[in-house]
Amino acid sequence: MNEIIKEIEKLKKKKNAVILAHYYVNDEVQAIADYIGDSYYLAKLAKSTDADTIVFCGVSFMGESAKILNPEKTVLMPDMSADCPMAHMADIERIEEMREKYDDLAVVCYINSTAELKCHSDVCVTSSNAVKIVKSLPNKNIFFIPDENLGRHVAKQVPEKNVILNNGFCHVHVSITADNVRAIKEKYPSALVLAHPECKEETLKLADYIGSTSGIIDYATASDNEEFIICTESGVGYELREKNPNKKFYFAGTKHFCPNMKLNTLEKVCHVLKTGENAVEISEEKRLKALAPLDRMLETAK
Ligand code: 13P
Ligand code: SF4
């Protein structure tokens, strides 16, 4: 075993630590993680683990959510600058404006958001539970923040609600165009198109399946088809290939890399385990406000 992996294993035992990794991080980090998964799975795990320390290989909103759900644990981020630009793409003034305008409004906040935005929201969602949660809300009017594309995808499946969209987006997913998909489809006509709902509407229209990172992996694994065009970040390729060594996966687009997720490296995992640096901190007042919509998500999505 490589020296750094041995060191990580040793430190993990010593500190009773667990390593959680999102499917978008580098292959070698996914390979040493105790758990890999989509945002919903990782949030549930963060709440239920009995480890003393969680090393969260992902981006800030994930580490922050883990800390909000589990304040007595130490949550370490291998790189504190790994942030999701979309998490900041909504503003409090607009939320307040919407609350003024509609008396029957629920602010539905994609988990890819800052703790500050969560504090002003009624319920959180992830891409794997958004439709179920929005459907279950008693409110007619839904302000969906920050992602416009996920919001539109949800709105289509919940026609009984008035879903108001916000103009946030993920630069990685919007870079995957319909033309990119068509070009691959021309070469591999029997390939099925699997897309993440953060992609643009024109790209989603070409999809045979739309779902979260876990949804995409599970769909490809259960399918008898042998070829797939994947419309999401390249990191899911690791688990897709692990589970399906004989199937072929073609990634659409040329910019399907999330630079923030890729900041997580084995060296940084080892460093934070050794030093305890990069612990996520959040004031108790803010934590309690942001906890309410996260708890409501976990309760409703069960
Ligand atoms: P999921 O893994 O929940 O599908 O989320 C995708 C994503 O963009 C996380 O940043
Ligand atoms: Fe954010 Fe997009 Fe990266 Fe996910 S892939 S962390 S939404 S920038």
Report which protein residue has its CA nearest ligand 1's atom 3: 39
> To 5 degrees, how large is the angle CA 192–CA 198–CA 204?
40
Cis status of the peptide bond prior to 146, with omega within 30 of 0:
yes
Instruction: Determine the distance separating the centroid of ligand 1 and the alpha carbon of 127, expressed in angstroms.
Output: 7
> Phi then psi for 192, rounded to 5 degrees?
-90, 145
At 1 the pLDDT is 62
Instruction: Determine the distance separating the centroid of ligand 2 and the alpha carbon of 174, expressed in angstroms.
Output: 11
Mean pLDDT within 214-225? 98
Tell me the Ramachandran region of residue 16: left when phi exceeds 0, alpha when psi lies from -120 to 50, beta otherwise: left
Q: Which listed ligand is nearest to 83 at the C-alpha?
A: 2
List pLDDT tens digits, range 169-191.
Answer: 999 999 999 999 999 999 999 99
Residue 120 has pLDDT above 90, yes or no: yes
Q: Name the amino acid, one letter, at 244.
A: N
Instruction: Determine the distance separating the centroid of ligand 1 and the alpha carbon of 232, expressed in angstroms.
Output: 9
Q: Which listed ligand is nearest to 194 at the C-alpha?
A: 1
Instruction: Determine the distance separating the centroid of ligand 2 and the alpha carbon of 186, expressed in angstroms.
Output: 28
* Closest approach atom of ligand 2 to CA 232: 5
> DSSP secondary-structure letter at 80?
T
- Can you read off the two tokens belonging to residue 228? 């797939």
The percent of residues in the chain predicted with pLDDT above 70, rounded, is 100
Report which protein residue has its CA nearest ligand 2's atom 5: 258
List pLDDT tens digits, range 58-71.
Answer: 999 999 999 999 99
Q: Which long-range contacts (CB under 8 A, 24 or more apart) does 223-226 make?
A: 223/192, 225/190, 225/191, 225/192, 226/190
At 40 the pLDDT is 92
How many Å from the N-terminal Cα to the C-terminal Cα in the chain?
A: 39
For residues 129 and 40, the answer to whether their CB atoms sit within 8 Å is yes
Ligand 1 contact, 121 CB (< 6 A): no
Residue 272 CA to residue 261 CA, distance in Å, equals 16
| pTM (2 d.p.) | 0.96
At 47 the pLDDT is 86
List pLDDT tens digits, range 18-55.
Answer: 999 999 999 999 999 999 999 999 999 988 899 999 99
For residues 209 and 129, the answer to whether their CB atoms sit within 8 Å is no
